[in-house]
Amino acid sequence: MSRDPAIRVERWTPLSRLSILGATLLLVMLAAGPFFFGNNAIDKLTTLFIYVILAVTWNALAGYGGLVSVGQQAFFGLGAYAAVRLADAGLNVYVSLVLAAVIIAAVSLPISSFMLRLKGGEFAIGMWVLAELCHLLVNLDSLVQGETGTSLIALNAYDADQRHAFNYWAALGSMTAILVILFVLLRSRIGSAIQAIRDNEEAAAALGVRVMATKRIIYVFAAFGAALAGALWLSTAITFQPKTYFGVQWTAYMIFMVLVGGLGTFEGAILGALIFFLIEAWFGGSGVWYLVGLGATALLFSLFVPRGIWGWLERRFGLSLLPLGYRILGIEPTAGTSPPDDGERGATPSAGTP
């Protein structure tokens, strides 16, 4: 089959290549952060990295997988709880953080067999019920002592400066790994299958997509990310109180970040995490009005800017820094043909692009 030389299909652009280079340089500079920043700045950046993890993994589940969950705090809390348990058993505290997320991801695998049978609103409410059930079960552990909670006392083995630096590097490394894994996953055949299921599950199944297995992959990945974020948050807060870690506000934060940044866009979730981080830094001390403001902002974005800030930029200017799909460029004139109309010129996302 011959290809029309007048049609160009591309994935990487000069801008996207430059973006990857810039992101790599930024990560290298951030890795040296503890040698130049004070503990306060280090703690704030650690918080930002955790927010990015929460945003991109919820966006993977809902924005790309079409599985809108209001119960991701279940895995966030379980990740922190598992880290406490592993550290109490004598395991190195920083090894416990990562291993806790792996264990919770493994636990989410059998849970997915039940939860993924639910559709739409049923899935969302089912996840919230799961979170409440996990909260109650954790409260029964004598180590936790109900809502009194416990502490990650193993961190006392490190002095304050060491603890701030190690928490920072753990969060930065975890965020980088999550972003790289998700980027590779969404650019693969599995990523295309995930988005096909989101758009039309029956049609995807008719084309041979293994619907349940594919949904399970993104569900377990999102659970791993939330659990890792919970464990990392524990390393900065030190204390573990179930009502704090299993609170629905964590999922509310995830939803806010993704709605404002851009649901179903890779860059949008990162942008939303940064925006939420700045809003919290400026207005976090406003009490209940801070939460009211977050809710009102999310509502306004869902009504008037449903694709979020990055989604709007992407549609308005064709901006794509980290392309996941292919782009079909406008037909270029060849010998003996007239130039295309203005409406035909330019880049158009392919079917594989969200």
For the ranges 12-26, 173-187, 254-268, 336-350, the lowest mean pLDDT is seen at 336-350
Predicted confidence band at 348 (pLDDT cuts at 50, 70, 90)? very low
Determine the pLDDT at residue 291.
75
The rounded mean pLDDT for the chain is: 86
Spatial contact of 225 and 178, defined as CB atoms under 8 Å apart: yes
Average pLDDT over residues 57-61: 96
Parallel, antiparallel or unpaired: strands 239-240 and 347-349: unpaired
Indicate whether 253 pLDDT > 50.
yes
Predicted confidence band at 111 (pLDDT cuts at 50, 70, 90)? very high
Average pLDDT over residues 128-151: 92
Average pLDDT over residues 12-30: 88
Predicted confidence band at 157 (pLDDT cuts at 50, 70, 90)? confident
Count the neighbouring beta carbons within 10 Å of the beta carbon of residue 159. Answer: 8
Indicate whether 289 pLDDT > 80.
no
Average pLDDT over residues 109-126: 93
Which residues, at least 6 apart from 88, have a Cβ–Cβ distance to it below 8 Å? 143, 154
Report the distance separating Cα 197 and Cα 67, nearest Å: 10
Determine the pLDDT at residue 349.
42
Average pLDDT over residues 181-196: 91
